[in-house]
Amino acid sequence: MTTKKKSTLRELALLPLRGVAVFPYMVIHLDVGRERSISAIDAAMAEERELFLTMQKDAQTDEPDMDDIYQFGTVAEIKQLLKLPGGTIRVLVEGLRRAKIVNLKSADPYMRVEVEEYTESASKDMELEALMRTLVGQFEQYAKVSKKIPPEAIVSVVTLEEPGRMADEIAAHLSLKLTAKQDVLEAVNVKERLELLCRLLANEMEILELERKINARVRKQMEKTQKEYYLREQLKAIQKELGEKEDRISEAEELREKVDKAKLPKEVREKALKEIDRLEKMPPQAAEAAVVRTYLDWILALPWNKQTKDRLDIEAAEKILNDEHYGLKEVKDRILEFLAVRQLAKKMKGPILCFVGPPGVGKTSLAKSIANALERKFVRMSFGGVRDEAEIRGHRRTYVGAMPGRIIQSLKQAGTKNPVILLDEIDKLGADFRGDPASALLEVLDPEQNNTFSDHYIESPFDLSKVMFITTANVQYNIPRPLLDRMEVIYLPGYTEEEKLQIALRHLLPKQLAEHGLSKEQLVVSENAIRKIIREYTKEAGVRNLEREIASICRKVAKEIVAKKIEKAKVSAQNVEKYLGIPRFHYGVAEKKDEVGVALGLAVTEVGGDTLAIEVTIMKGKGKLTLTGKLGDVMKESAYAGFSYIRSRSSEFGISDDFYEKYDIHIHVPEGAIPKDGPSAGITMATALTSALTNRPVRKDVAMTGEITLRGRVLPVGGIKEKVLAAHRAGAKTIILPKENEKNLEEIPVNVKRKLKFILAEHLDEVLEVALLEEQK
Ligand SMILES: Nc1ncnc2c1ncn2[C@@H]1O[C@H](COP(=O)(O)OP(=O)(O)O)[C@@H](O)[C@H]1O
Ligand SMILES: [Mg+2]
């Protein structure tokens, strides 16, 4: 034990303390004013200047008695005494030892007590040593955090040797509660005292830490706004100092203003503002800054909320469709129905229109007319060459040179969120447009999901539900199936010569005149001239080349007028060649001969209906049947079917029974580069074959189509209208069709029907009867 009771008791004057604890070794000023306290001091001064200091339990008590004071206190020496004006005395005291009251000697005129004193030695064991070190460590840490303890105090405490004294000095420095201080005073046992202080320090540290956290939190909240303002001002100042343009600030400010005005959706707005903050902090020339700027430009340019009001007048729509397109009655009716249904069932999201037909039949321009009719903006998006998903959905911004996809680009171009977007030639993407990209397009077209279309670049979802999508394709087969399922297909098979003539006179010619700055008087193109152009300069289902030829005439005339060679021109059937050169096609087959082994078939290709000549040659050989001209399997099979039928009936046709043993047969379909398939050339091949074997020529003005069975039956085929128009274009006069296709004759325009003779065949015998002439001698 390092603490010892002194053997003798001492009698001392007692000075009760209010709100302050005095430890041994502590030097402190006390201001004394109470009468009894002054008497105590007077008494002490008379006896070795020593007195007993102890705290009142309650500082408010004016006349404390024994019950109001603690038993434990400190014996102190009065070092100095100063009388202050007003009767108070300031005393400087120094604590000497702990002591405990054992007896009250007298209460008046001051409290006089008998105390038992404690003395401590500096000796210590290892445990105490360890406790001291811990305490010193904790105290240093506390001092660091609290910042209230002067450094010299720390030094003096750390260098102390006596453990008890160290504890007392540390206690004196801490801002402890008075009761805690009293606990320290009462801890007579030095080890217990050190332990108590360790606990108190740890406790204080925790409180300090909590305080710090609370402070930090409060400051953070308060500072955030102030700090930003402050930093921004500072940045301005710095940039000004550097002579750097203030426009960076104003750029950001300007952008913020724009964002405010742009009526962006909340999410987009927040994102934009965040990007502006980022931009502001970047050096202006940073590559990243350019990226952010471009991004913001895109966000600001998109029509998040802009939309045009639809014209909901079906009659007006009809007028526009009629004004801009000749003919196409059925197509227009279906478009109008579609628009009417859309109007009635606003919420019901209808299918998407898909125009299917060969080039130049007006698919694209019809879509444009629909936009005009609805008074919506129109954007055309071509799919030629679209390869990957990113073209539709965009690239993530992390890519260098990233851009939004075409859908978003189209919307920017339109400037409204409800344009008509034409997805032109979606069959063109059929070839290299698979997997993910197709699903991206599906999402675009799906009314269930397209209200939150997400472009990788834009990041925030865009609402496509107000967009009216229209698609076009040359052939339906190339459209990915799931896309096709969402669409309402409208076919545009192509025009008759008469229709083309009308289209040219009413639309193409006036349009081209206007485009070339020519008046109706300056260039007159006669009806016959146009007819000649249709027949001898073009061979198409649509009117694209026709328009091109007319444009080329306009160009030449315009050039001559500008060169002042002529004032006006009149183009007739006689002088077309002067403008367009020699005719490219021979109209009709009139000049051709009736030939053996050649029959004219009909087919539907990507460019519409077309004629298909089939040639058969017979050579001496061993009965081999060869097929050339890029024929598909179905077509080959139908060639064999025809061949078998003829073999089975050879005697009736007057063909020697063993022809298939002595001869090789070669069936060829010219224009070998174009793949051909389907069963519809069956009767044509059989006719050519019979012609070759019997040496009976085929009538040159007959064209035919139909599937053939092993027994010679003629089965129906598709695409009758396209095929008949193609046959008519090629100058055929008689057309052989399967009997079961009779109903399809309704589709054919009357003026074409009038000029043609139709044979409806059920059996190959009827076909041969019409198509073959007498045997050549
Ligand atoms: N029925 C029609 N009436 C008036 N012009 C037409 C008609 N059909 C096509 N055209 C015109 O022919 C040209 C080619 O049409 P376009 O729409 O490009 O065809 P597609 O998209 O089917 O290939 C355009 O100038 C178009 O206005
Ligand atoms: Mg087109």
Residue 143 token pair: 């001092």
pLDDT at residue number 776? 67
CA distance 181 to 196: 10
What does the pLDDT read at residue 363?
93
Residues 6+ apart with CB under 8 A from 350: 338, 341, 342, 488
Q: Where does the pLDDT of residue 386 fall: very low under 50, low under 70, confident under 90, or very high at 90 and above? A: confident
Q: How far is CA 377 from the centre of its chain?
A: 22
**Mind giving me the DSSP string for 258-304?**
HHHHTT--HHHHHHHHHHHHHHHHS-TT-HHHHHHHHHHHHHHHS-S
Res 5 pLDDT > 70: no
pLDDT for 590: 43
Question: Candidates 328, 353, 365, 513: which one to mutate for ligand 1, based on the most atoms within 8 Å of Cβ?
Answer: 365
Question: For position 324, what pLDDT does the model report?
Answer: 93
Cβ(365) – ligand 1 distance below 6 Å? yes
Residue-wise DSSP of 470-494: EEEES-GGGS-HHHHHTEEEEE---
Task: Please say if the pLDDT value at position 57 is more than 50.
Answer: yes
For 558-579, what is the mean pLDDT? 88
Tokens of 605: 């290709």
CB of 327 shorter than 6 A to ligand 1: yes
Predicted confidence at residue 673, as pLDDT, reads 56
Cα 14 to middle of ligand 1, angstroms: 118
- Note the ligand closest to the C-alpha atom of 426: 2
**What is residue 431's predicted lDDT score, i.e. its pLDDT?**
47
Cα 363 to averaged position of ligand 1 atoms, centre (Å):
7
| Nearest by Cα to 618 from 646, 588, 593 | 646
The model's pLDDT over 312-344, given as tens digits with 9 standing for 90+, comes to 888 989 999 999 999 888 889 988 888 888 777
**Mean pLDDT, to the nearest integer, of 603-626?**
83
More confident of the two residues 698 and 123: 698
Section 629-636 average pLDDT: 84
Q: Among the atoms of ligand 1, which is closest to the Cα of residue 544?
A: 14
More confident residue, 355 or 120: 355
Contact by Cβ (8 Å): 251, 297: no
Establish whether residue 364 lines the binding site of ligand 1, counting it when its CB lies within 6 angstroms of any ligand atom: yes
| pLDDT averaged over every residue in the chain | 86
Average of per-residue pLDDT across 11-32: 92
What is the rounded average pLDDT of the residues 188-206?
Answer: 91
Q: How many other C-beta atoms lie within 10 A of the C-beta of residue 46?
A: 9
**What pLDDT does 1 receive?**
42
**295 Cα: distance to centroid of ligand 2 (angstroms):** 32
Is 50 exceeded by the pLDDT of residue 591?
no
pTM for this structure? 0.58
Q: Please compute the mean of the pLDDT values over residues 631-645 and round it to a whole number.
A: 87
Q: What percent of the chain lies above the pLDDT cut of 90?
A: 38
Active site members: 680, 723
Asked whether 363 lines ligand 1 (CB < 6 A), one says: yes
pLDDT score recorded for residue 244: 62
Q: Which three-class secondary structure state does DSSP give residue 219? A: helix
Atom of ligand 1 nearest to the CA of 366: 17
pLDDT surpassing 80 at residue 399: no
pLDDT digits (tens, 9 = 90+) for 407-440: 999 999 999 999 999 999 888 774 454 456 677 8
Task: Report which of residues 675 and 613 the model is more confident about.
Answer: 613
Measured from the Cα of 492, ligand 1's closest atom is 22
Mean pLDDT of 705-711: 92
CB distance 507 to ligand 1 below 6 Å: yes
**Residue 710 predicted with pLDDT over 70:** yes
Task: Report pLDDT for 509.
Answer: 94
Question: What would the pLDDT profile of 460-500 be if each residue is shown by its tens digit?
Answer: 899 998 899 999 998 887 787 888 888 889 988 888 888 89
Confidence band, pLDDT 50/70/90 cuts, at residue 186: very high
Mean pLDDT value of segment 266-290:
85
pLDDT, residue 248, reads 56
For range 286-294, the mean pLDDT: 84
CA 580/CA 537 separation, integer angstroms: 8
- For residue 552, pLDDT over 90 is answered with yes
Taking residues 588-597, what's their average pLDDT?
Answer: 67
The CA angle 496-500-505, to the nearest 5 degrees, is 150
Using CA atoms, how far apart are residues 749 and 736, in angstroms rounded to an integer? 17
Ligand positioned closest to the Cα atom of 383: 2
Q: At 548, is the pLDDT very low, low, confident or very high (cuts 50, 70, 90)?
A: very high
Residue among 361, 363, 722 whose CB has most ligand 1 atoms within 8 A, to mutate: 361
In this structure, are residues 457 and 394 in contact, taking their beta carbons and an 8 Å threshold? yes
Q: How far is CA 103 from CA 9, 114, 146, 166, 214, in A?
A: 10, 5, 41, 30, 49
Q: Give pLDDT, residue 760.
A: 95
pLDDT score, position 434:
45
